[in-house]
A and B are shown apart, each in its own frame.
Chain A
């Protein structure tokens, strides 16, 4: 898929911007703090309805303005598609082909993107939360049903955690806790099963790519680390049984700690290179390669699932990769993946790619096309 036109208004440090793209590779160049990341973020927000770097939608609205609006005209295999996201004090509204969508899960997935930003290098080293966010975001784009179960799960979890806070009050009702546990388990099983399925597929691509980047020297394995005693081979009903057993055994502990102790919200991922956990034993370069392999694997996986390549957003990372990794990345996108790259200077970017790219100069919230 391709973004043909991107417009945004009162968004971040931009008053009004209208851009058309007719090249595969688009290089966004500018000094620090001019709005390069903001531009990439606009595309990310158009796809995901939220930012990759803040949970507060309000920050996207230009200071002193009442609303921010981002629109995109997309060319897809299935036809043209118009997307719109508006943020205001009344919350956010999303439109597909100018029709307002009541549920975000009906909207997400229309535009597929893969973003690779400096923060992604933390994917391996960072907290479990960041890895869960990675898997949820990637899966949410290709599976609205996953997004649905995940949001149900989180709503029930919130209720259950609230109830557990009163576990020692007079009015505490064990029957109510049982009800919420019974409600939580099928959603937890769905989320876990779907994560296993996703990782099984991602694993194949990621290992393939990782072997290529490391010239056959390294093999990559992705492991799901569940908080409950469950495994990849279990079907939904076995997962539910196992989860029920676990809940039965941790119930007293949950009451004491006033929170839900098992379930997908406490699960994690582990990356194994040549039988060693990269998180503890990997060098910086290895961790970087793992992050890159995962991102490139996502591109292929999305292509496999939706029969179309996603849009790739590269924020400041090209210059952080050595020549070999850079050329691997560039050969992957060659001619098939519409890519947006930000950089403060064109030095250190492969010449051939640069020659075929369109250049956009960003200065203090203004974008000019250069040829």
Chain B
């Protein structure tokens, strides 16, 4: 079907979002056309601002509007443990469960030669730098329990082990091949309890 250019551009925009196919994108686009102009304007501004005003924390790489982020700034948190996760949304999932009181390190990805992603592409050098400070004594690797996440965990473990820092991997309750994001909170907290040394 041939749409006028502004509409097809909007449809294309929606299709870049995860889980949205051409049909849904078209439905959303036509919905937007029927919205009040000020609502559309607010929505557009929210999109742009979220992108502009959020950066990655210079310490942990979590998305934040202040640098360092609130978690890194929080003096009451335990600075001897760092939990390594793949995505910022994993930090949010962990924080919701309110069990973990240490620091985070967000990789923004996992090692995958097939996708051209190596260790230096996912903030592993930054992590190693953070470990040079004596305060860190334990690393919990909470990358996704799929092949890329496991490889990333093994790689980090091999790198860090010789420094004497304890490295553990969350172990139980997570569906094999699944994403951390989909695990419910109960399974997540079990996973943290049952962590194993790598």
Contacts and interface: CB of A to CB of B under 8 A. Distances in A.
Given A90-B21, A175-B159, A183 B151 contact: yes
Contacts of B177: 103
Contacts, number: 43
B147 interface: yes
Contact of A179 (B21, B114, B155): B155
Contacts of B173: none
A138 B101 CA distance: 50
B97 to A, nearest CB: 24
A173 interface: yes
Interface string B111-141: 1111000111000000000000000000000
Interface in A73-108: 90, 103
B158 A173 contact: no
A159 B155 contact: no
A183 B113 contact: no
Contacts of A211: none
A176 B155 contact: yes
Contacts of A179: 151, 154-155, 158
A162 B114 contact: yes
A90 B20 CA distance: 12
B181 interface: no
A247 B126 CA distance: 32
Given A90-B21, A182-B154, A183-B154, A159 B112 contact: yes
Contacts of A182: 154
Nearest to B146: A155
B179 interface: no
Interface in A157-174: 158-160, 162-163, 166, 171, 173
A159 B113 contact: yes
B139 to A, nearest CB: 16
Chain A residues touching B, majority SS: helix
A159 B154 contact: no
B118 A173 contact: yes
B67 interface: no
A176 B111 contact: yes
Contacts of B114: 158-159, 162
A156 interface: yes
B12 interface: no
Interface in A140-168: 152, 155-156, 158-160, 162-163, 166
A179 B113 CA distance: 12
Contact of B147 (A90, A162, A166, A183): A183
Given A159-B113, A171-B118, A152 B147 contact: yes
Nearest to B150: A183
Contacts of B151: 156, 159, 176, 179-180, 183
Contact of B119 (A158, A159, A173, A178): A173
Interface in B63-100: none
Contacts of A166: 113
B147 A175 contact: no
Contacts of B113: 159-160, 162-163, 166, 176, 180
A155 B119 contact: no
Contacts of B159: 175
Contacts of A180: 113, 151
Contacts of B148: 159
Given A158-B114, A159-B112, A159-B113, A176 B147 contact: no
7 contacts: A152-B147, A160-B113, A166-B113, A171-B120, A179-B155, A180-B151, A183-B154
Interface of B: 21, 111-114, 118-120, 147-148, 150-151, 154-155, 158-159, 177
Given A155-B147, A159-B147, A171-B120, 16 more contacts: A103-B177, A156-B147, A156-B151, A159-B112, A159-B148, A159-B151, A160-B113, A166-B113, A171-B118, A175-B155, A179-B151, A179-B155, A179-B158, A180-B151, A182-B154, A183-B150
